[in-house]
Amino acid sequence: MKRSFFPLFLVVALALGTALPAAAEKADRDKPMNAEADTLRYDDLKQSSVFTGNVVITKGTTIIRGQQVDVSQDPEGYQQAVAIAAPGKLAYYRKKRDNVDEYIEGEGERIEYDSRADTVKFIRHAVVRRYKGSTLADETTGALIVYDNNTDVFSVDGGAQNRTAANPTGRVRAMLSPRIDPPPTGSAVPPVAGPSTKLRPSTTLGAEVPQKAP
């Protein structure tokens, strides 16, 4: 059964105290796509490439890894990539969020990246994590996770494809950390309380000269 998970739950729980102001790194769209692999089959007529063997794709801050990655490009220059994991393993995706030290990281047996729609699909045994720096903040698992880079919204489906020994029901699972806003910069520091000094008025400048007794 499909669960409208993020719109009804994660938007509140994942963004406690904030409304997800930071979007995914937008500059990645215009960066060139680079690839490393053991083999490559390129079709210039179809504008498609098939990379196999320990494939690593980079596009700005975006990283995609898999045993096989099929990349195609439409007439307008938008690229689509499908990463397929080796048997018993998971394909990998990572991207930096804009203006903050946060990263979105995900895995699945199959990952589909669409640069035109700027969405990523994690299919079968899918997991998506959010890191603040190197610290894990949130983690969500499901049979299918669709992540929209434009809005930072996830939709997560559970089901039979998500069943494991640890999760025999295949239901969606999530670990969410509260969002805590840092104190505003430049805020005044309250003075430290201490003994008060009472000032005495004087009609002379400099040190007071003691008077001689008559």
Of the candidates 87, 154, 167, the one whose C-alpha atom is nearest the C-alpha of residue 122 is: 154
Question: CA angle 171-175-181, nearest 5°?
Answer: 145
For the chain, state the CA radius of gyration. 28
- State the average pLDDT over residues 188-210: 51
d(CA 19, CA 104): 17
Q: Residue 170 is encoded by which pair of tokens?
A: 């295949």
pLDDT band at residue 194 under the 50/70/90 scheme: low
d(CA 129, CA 123): 15
User: With contact defined as beta carbons under 8 Å apart, do 6 and 153 qualify?
Assistant: yes
d(CA 6, CA 138): 13
> Looking at the predicted structure, is the pLDDT value of residue 53 above 80?
yes
pLDDT band at residue 28 under the 50/70/90 scheme: confident
> Looking at the predicted structure, is the pLDDT value of residue 15 above 50?
no
> Looking at the predicted structure, is the pLDDT value of residue 8 above 50?
no
d(CA 180, CA 195): 36
pLDDT band at residue 199 under the 50/70/90 scheme: very low
> Looking at the predicted structure, is the pLDDT value of residue 193 above 60?
no
Of the candidates 157, 66, 158, 160, the one whose C-alpha atom is nearest the C-alpha of residue 113 is: 66
Mean pLDDT in the chain? 77
- State the average pLDDT over residues 51-59: 95
What does the pLDDT look like over 155-180, one tens digit per residue?
998 877 667 666 777 787 877 777 66
> Looking at the predicted structure, is the pLDDT value of residue 17 above 50?
no
> Looking at the predicted structure, is the pLDDT value of residue 25 above 70?
no
pLDDT band at residue 111 under the 50/70/90 scheme: very high
Task: Please give the share of the chain, as a percent, with pLDDT higher than 70.
Answer: 67
User: What is the pLDDT, as a whole number, of residue 78?
Assistant: 87
Q: What is the pTM of this model?
A: 0.68
User: With contact defined as beta carbons under 8 Å apart, do 70 and 42 qualify?
Assistant: no
> Looking at the predicted structure, is the pLDDT value of residue 139 above 80?
yes
Lowest mean pLDDT among 74-88, 139-153, 159-173: 159-173
Q: What structural domains and CATH numbers belong to the chain?
A: 2-21+37-175 (2.60.450.10)
- Number of C-alpha atoms within 13 angstroms, CB side, residue 103? 13
d(CA 99, CA 23): 8
